[in-house]
Chain A
Amino acid sequence: MLPFFVGRLTQAMAVMVAVALVAFALFTYVGDPINNMVGEQTTRADRDKLRESLGLNDPVPLQFARFVANAAVGNFGISYRLKRPVDELIAERMPATLELVLISALVSLAIGIPLGVYTAIRRHSLISRFILTASLAGVSLPTFIIGIGLIYLFAVHWGVLPSFGRGEVTSLGWWSTGLLTASGLKALILPVTTVSLFQITLILRLVRAEMLEVLRSDYIRFARARGLTNRAINFGHAFKNTLVPVITIAGLNIASLIAFSIIAETVFQWPGMGFLFIQAIEFVDIPIMAAYLVMAALVFVTINLCVDMLYFVIDPRLADDASTLPVQSR
């Protein structure tokens, strides 16, 4: 297990270094940071003084080291557009995004896995066929169109759910939550549905495919020959063995939920990090772009690592022989 863990950790570090290099290059080469900080009237001499005091004349490796040191403590400077420290802006908006992403992940697992198991066990029933056809449509519908459709139906046509914002939020220290008020929960419904629909179809199809594969195997046939109940075979034997690939993909999907949340946040004017990021791209607000990039990469890398570690918990066979790990096949 240890060599595997070390290998994965090295790869994670490589990703972070690469992302840090991109973020640093953004600061250094895209636009002139001085121009973005001072007014039009600032004299040449003042600009040079500022440049020197910010260390922008230092050798590039030294600047990069300083950038990494600052980034490690969450210091990404001051937003060009909003003129406020980036870490403050992100801390304000992080709870909104995390609540959206985590609840969507839970919802899509809670719906996708049972549907996948059902469509695999009752392969030929009408309901299964209907679910599968609907899921194909789900893959072809772009996220933002789902969002607009939901807004039109539930907010404009029927007027039962809010179309933008988080509703009323309660602050628990530095964390602001929309989970404790009725309007906050109502505001979550449409964005969560928008983000989850696509994930549900993915998880459903994956669980179904894995389940069908396992149900064909010899040990399931043997279990049937032993006269075990269908229930014991389906859940005790088959379902357990589909969990490794399902957890891998589901874990990686949580990472992609963060990307999808950018779209949902824009459609529903959700005051989260994704909305902030899109505005930063529109106005070329480099500090926010860089900070978002580094934070998103950190989340992806952490999730990937956790998923790898989960393999060992779920499948004890792997701990005996690390060389048989599905490293390359992923």
Chain B
Amino acid sequence: MSGAANDPGSAGAGAIRRLLDHDLVYSFLSSPLTVVAAVVTGVIFIATGLAPWLAPHEPFNPATLSLMDAFTVPAWMDGGTSRYILGTDDLGRDMLSTIMHGARISIIVGFSAVMLGMTLGVGLGVLSGYLGGWFEIVVMRLADIQLTIPGILVALLIDGIARGLLPREQHADLMIYVIILAIGLSDWPQFARVTRSATLVEKRLDYVAAARLTGIGPMTIMIRHILPNVMRPVLVLATVGLALAIIAEATLSFLGVGMPPTTPSLGTLIRVGGDFLYSGEWWITLFPALVLVTLVLAVNLLGDWLRDALDPKLR
């Protein structure tokens, strides 16, 4: 999302292209911190996206692992080798490769969860703003109720329910879908609220009345006319939401109810590495933590910039 908004060449949809007017490009280039954040985000996305081809080792292929290499220190310390730049963990897995694969899962989960929450929230928001009546009341009351309870708690609850409903032996394989569902369902109310209030404003404008007069159906008006015009605040919310979703996934995995150690995300790596902190093997937990914090910080900075650039009033 943030990648598409930063790079004029890859902008596909008309809504996004309209956002890329002169002001946005200018404000992007005049803020060095934002450019750095965009570069960092880009590097992490590419490195993790291409992890299966770029990673120096195959950390999840038992045939390539050797316990003899376990607990190798990072390359710049005494006893480190250039074979394992960031050292190895307790199973002799190369930390760099493990982190690349782990961050990949974190980002995939973050993206999918935001997409799910956004689709659900924006859909319900536009519908309830445009239609009004009992539908609006029901949806907004539901959003109110859910907002009473912190998102992470809602995600934990959905996680717990899914664990109860799914057979135990399939947990490891299905966990990624469970987490996406849990995080996505925990943040739809924000999107619904923002979209609904934007829709309420848009629907009173002349262009909507004109569209209605030409005899276009309500579904078409909502999708073709109102939706593109309420996407600005949604895009800002989605960028910040991506950082929050990545943190939420890492938190669930860290708490032991997220990604299993066989297909670890950054959160799982930090949890597993935390056990070795007491015996002095700090690099097993430090490097995944650093990557997580850098990623979240970079995405947050992008979100801050996008918010200032798109809607100065929101500050």
A interface residues, Cβ below 8 angstroms from B: 11, 14-15, 18-19, 22, 26, 30-31, 136-137, 139-145, 148-149, 151-152, 156, 163, 255-256, 258-259, 262-263, 266, 277-278, 280-282, 284, 286, 289, 293, 296-297, 300-301, 304
A interface footprint on B148-189 (CB within 8 Å = 1, 0 otherwise): 111011001101110111000000000000000000000000
Q: For A281, list chain B residues within 8 Å (CB).
A: 156, 159-160, 163, 257
| Main DSSP-derived SS at the B contact region | helix
Is B251 in contact with A142, judged by CB distance below 8 angstroms? yes
* Docked pose: A108 CA to B52 CA in angstroms: 44
Is A304 in contact with B148, judged by CB distance below 8 angstroms? yes
Which chain A residue has the least Cβ–Cβ distance from B273?
A148
A15 interface neighbour in B145, B255, B270, Cβ under 8 Å: B145
A-B contact count (CB 8 A): 100
B144 touches A (CB below 8 Å): yes
* Docked pose: A238 CA to B285 CA in angstroms: 46
B interface residues, Cβ below 8 angstroms from A: 141, 144-145, 148-150, 152-153, 156-157, 159-161, 163-165, 243, 247, 250-251, 254-257, 270, 274, 277-278, 280, 282, 285, 289, 292-293, 296-297, 300
Which chain A residue has the least Cβ–Cβ distance from B294?
A140
B300 interface neighbour in A140, A144, A163, Cβ under 8 Å: A140
Q: For B163, list chain A residues within 8 Å (CB).
A: 281-282, 284
Q: For B297, list chain A residues within 8 Å (CB).
A: 137, 140
What 8 pairs between A and B have smallest CB-CB spacing? A30-B164, A259-B150, A281-B160, A140-B297, A284-B164, A256-B150, A144-B254, A259-B153
The 19 sampled A-B contact pairs (Cβ below 8 Å) are: A11-B144, A14-B145, A19-B149, A30-B161, A142-B296, A144-B251, A145-B289, A148-B277, A152-B282, A255-B150, A259-B152, A259-B153, A263-B152, A263-B251, A284-B164, A289-B157, A289-B160, A296-B149, A297-B148
Question: Apart from A139-B300, A148-B274, A259-B152, what are 18 other A-B pairs with CB-CB below 8 Å?
Answer: A14-B145, A26-B161, A30-B165, A136-B300, A140-B293, A140-B297, A144-B250, A151-B277, A152-B277, A259-B150, A262-B153, A266-B254, A266-B255, A284-B163, A286-B164, A293-B157, A296-B149, A297-B149
